[in-house]
Amino acid sequence: MYAREIEEKLTELGIKVGDKIKVSKEEKYYEGILMPRSFYNPDVLVIKLANGYNIGIEWKNIVKIEKVEEEKKKVARVERKEEIQEKHEKTISILSTGGTIASKVDYRTGGVRPAMTAQDLFEAIPELREIANIEPRTIMQVYSESMNFEHYEKMAKEVFNEIKKGVDGIVIAHGTDTMHYSSAALSFAVQNLGIPVVFVGAQRSSDRGSSDAAVNLISSCLFASQSELAGVFICMHESMSDYACAVHLGTRARKLHASRRDAFKSVNAKPVARVLWREKKIEYLCKDCVNLRDKNKESELFANFEKKVALIKLHPGFNPEIIDFLIEKSYKGIVLEGTGLGHAPEYVMHAIRNACEHAIVCMTSQCIFGRVNLNVYYTGRDLLKAGVIPCEMLPEVAFIKLAWALGNFSEEEVKEIMRKNVAGEIVERILYGE
């Protein structure tokens, strides 16, 4: 409910949530759909503009308010599940895990907190009802920087259960900081996937007028329900504009900007698709990079992750004792982020050789773009001789893959798996950034 004075005025004018209204401030006016009140301020009128943005206007600044049009379809704000079920051909689930997308301002600390449920998100964006039958469910409420392998195990099991229920797609609302780790984890944990599983987040919390949550969620739900592709994806703003969202393969994307809406980019690859959410259209950019949707596929779950795995960045002045320490602590896997083509300082060689005797050691490149090649310099060849496995994939993906492989397979199998393309993670041909 809005503040009493506002509710009284709205009733007097016959305006309800969902109606199109025109609100005039001193010189400006705004037209849009009246939304339910924001979580934190009952004195601010929230309207959804034609561009999908919600804006808040302080009641005291409003000079005039008029009804332009009745709510189009009589969709009750809280529909019963059976009604939702019957409406569309496709059914998808939204699993909420927390992050900025599920956050609102917490007035105790002044910071945002992941306190919104999947149902809250669903109810705040009426357009979602027009896309598919949607079943929102909160499975955890954490920021993604605080996630660990247990969260991946839980997410994978939840996704697997949804697949068994027969849904046509799954959207996972998630924090953006480590979304690419989670998307990699799910890409490996659920094998033979026949539907799209789409990670989505927001750079501004959902209770802010400038939030990108609505556009991202609408786009990801469109992709999850209508795409011809199957696999694990990330769907976020394609550029700074609200025009479209890009869909990236879950093992090929990375958060490359701390705050921009288009923070996620495909690395050494093209995005697989673009969602033009206003037109409800999907443009495929790399259809043959991924598998096609096939609901009859029997998915398999490999949800274990080995916890004693480390991701280490090599740098000038790197202390080899760090590697010795991991081996002393019985770490089973180490992913090195080498310099350039995958190089390590020569004085670290001894520690790496020793590590290879006790653990699986993989080499990636901190360059992000380009390839790993241990054959160019003699130092790289020494690494190969010591048993280091070159991994042509993002360091984060190699880290997750190694933890997953060690969690589910024998040591010999792990060595093979790390060299094999399991979920589109291996760069076979550089498309961008040579």
CB of 97 to ligand ASP, least distance (A): 9
CB of 175 to ligand ASP, least distance (A): 2
Bridging pattern class, strands 360-365 and 389-390: parallel
C-beta separation of 269 from 432 below 8 A = yes
- Report, in Å, the least distance between residue 208 CB and ligand ASP: 12
Tell me whether strands 133-142 and 91-98 are parallel, antiparallel or unpaired.
Answer: parallel
Can you state the angle between helices 321-328 and 349-358, rounded to 10 degrees? 10
Rounded-to-integer distance, Cα 425 and Cα 301, Å: 18
In terms of CB distance, is 145 or 228 closer to ligand ASP?
A: 145
**What span, in angstroms and rounded, lies between the C-alpha atoms of 46 and 49?**
10
What is the smallest separation between the CB atom of 141 and ligand ASP, expressed in angstroms? 10
Options 106, 145, 228, 346; binder of ligand ASP; rule CB under 6 A: 145
Q: Find the part of the chain contacting ligand ASP (CB under 6 A) among 160-168, 169-177, 347-355, 375-383.
A: 169-177
Select from 99, 271, 333, 342 the one that contacts ligand ASP (CB under 6 A).
Answer: 99
Residue position matching structure tokens 């790289």: 380
What is the Rg, in whole angstroms, of the alpha carbon atoms belonging to the chain?
Answer: 24
Does position 106 interact with ligand ASP (CB under 6 A)? The reply is no
- Closest listed residue to residue 216, CA positions, set 257, 247, 188: 247
Strand ranges (E), 318-392: 333-338, 360-365, 389-390
Does residue 271 interact with ligand ASP by CB under 6 A?
A: no
Least separation, in Å, of the C-beta of 86 and ligand ASP? 34
Min dist. Cβ of residue 142 to ligand ASP (A):
7
Nearer to ligand ASP, 331 or 399 (CB): 399
C-alpha–C-alpha distance, residues 27 and 219, integer Å: 34
Q: What whole-number distance in Å separates Cα of residue 402 and Cα of residue 251?
A: 13
Between 45 and 263, CB nearer to ligand ASP? 263
Q: Give the binding range for ligand ASP (CB under 6 A) out of 73-81, 155-163, 170-178, 408-416.
A: 170-178
Q: Residues with catalytic annotation?
A: 100, 176-177, 255
Which span (7-15, 55-63, 174-182, 319-327) binds ligand ASP, by CB under 6 A?
174-182
Using CB under 6 A as the binding rule, whether residue 93 contacts ligand ASP is answered as: no
- For 198, the 3-state DSSP assignment is strand
Among 127, 177, 207, 242, binds ligand ASP (CB under 6 A): 177
| Contacts for 43-50: CB closer than 8 Å, 24+ residues apart | 43/2, 43/3, 43/6, 45/2, 45/6, 46/209, 47/21, 47/23, 48/126, 48/214
CA distance 4 to 39: 16
The residue among 176 and 268 lying less far from ligand ASP, judged by its C-beta, is 176
Contacting ligand ASP within 29-58 (CB under 6 A): none
Binding mask 317-356 for ligand ASP (x = CB under 6 A): ----------------------------------------
Q: Which of residues 200-259 bind ligand ASP (CB under 6 A)?
A: 201, 203
User: Closer to ligand ASP at the Cβ: 211 or 304?
Assistant: 211
Measured on CA atoms in the order 353, 355, 356, 357, is the torsion positive or negative? positive
C-beta of 114 vs 320, nearer to ligand ASP:
114
Count CB-CB contacts under 10 A for residue 241. Answer: 11
Among 396, 392, 352, CA closest to 372: 392
Tokens of 47: 């309207």
Q: Kindly report the CA angle at 91 between 169 and 232, in degrees rounded to 5?
A: 5
Q: DSSP 3-state assignment of 352? A: helix
The residue number whose beta carbon is nearest to ligand ASP equals 175
Binding window for ligand ASP (CB under 6 A); candidates: 15-23, 175-183, 344-352, 389-397: 175-183
What number of chain residues touch ligand ASP (CB under 6 A)? 10
Choose the binding region for ligand ASP from 139-147, 151-159, 236-244, 323-331 (rule: CB under 6 A).
Answer: 139-147
Among 100, 133, 183, 211, binds ligand ASP (CB under 6 A): 100
Q: Is 56 helix (H, G, I), strand (E, B) or coil?
A: strand
Stretch of 173-181, 230-238, 372-380, 386-394 contacting ligand ASP, by CB under 6 A: 173-181
Q: What is the binding site for ligand ASP (CB under 6 A)?
A: 99-100, 143-145, 175-177, 201, 203
